[in-house]
Amino acid sequence: MTDIWARTARTVSSAALGAALAGCAAGVSTTTTTADARDLERGRALYDNNCRTCHTAKVHRRVPQLPANEDELRLIVLTWVRFEGMQWSKEDVDDVVFYVNRTYYQFDK
């Protein structure tokens, strides 16, 4: 997992990160989700309302690609959720990871 942070440090400058963080301060509280499966549309809604301000499709096409697999994607989502103080449930995170993976990366689990 350390490798992802090394790659992140090489691709994101402090100034760019600071500028991005300034626009990403939205939080959300959610109520329910389907218990049996990750929800693509719910993940899309959470991502659109909380992440897209800074993370347009362009961020998912950068070289080198971050993340390298679904576990790293989950780590990145969890890091930002905590950093932004969002009160997301495990299901919220699962839905966003599912949406982002399906939409941009197509990692095998």
The 10s digit of each residue's pLDDT in 26-53 is 343 333 444 446 899 999 999 999 999 8
Cβ neighbours of 98 (radius 10 Å) = 21
pLDDT of 96 higher than 70: yes
Q: How far apart are CA 11 and CA 16, in angstroms?
A: 10
Longest C-alpha distance within the chain, in Å? 41
- Identify the DSSP state of 68: S
pLDDT tens across 53-93, in order?
Answer: 888 888 888 888 889 999 999 999 999 999 999 999 999 99
Q: How far apart are CA 85 and CA 30, in angstroms?
A: 14
Query: Which pLDDT score, from 0 to 100, does residue 63 have?
Result: 87
Closest CA to 90 of 41, 30, 49: 30
Encoded tokens for 30? 């959610």
Quote the pTM value.
Answer: 0.66
Q: How confident is the model at residue 3 (pLDDT cuts 50, 70, 90)?
A: low
Query: Which pLDDT score, from 0 to 100, does residue 4 have?
Result: 52
Between these two residues, 46 and 108, which has the higher pLDDT value?
46
pLDDT tens across 6-16, in order?
Answer: 444 444 433 33
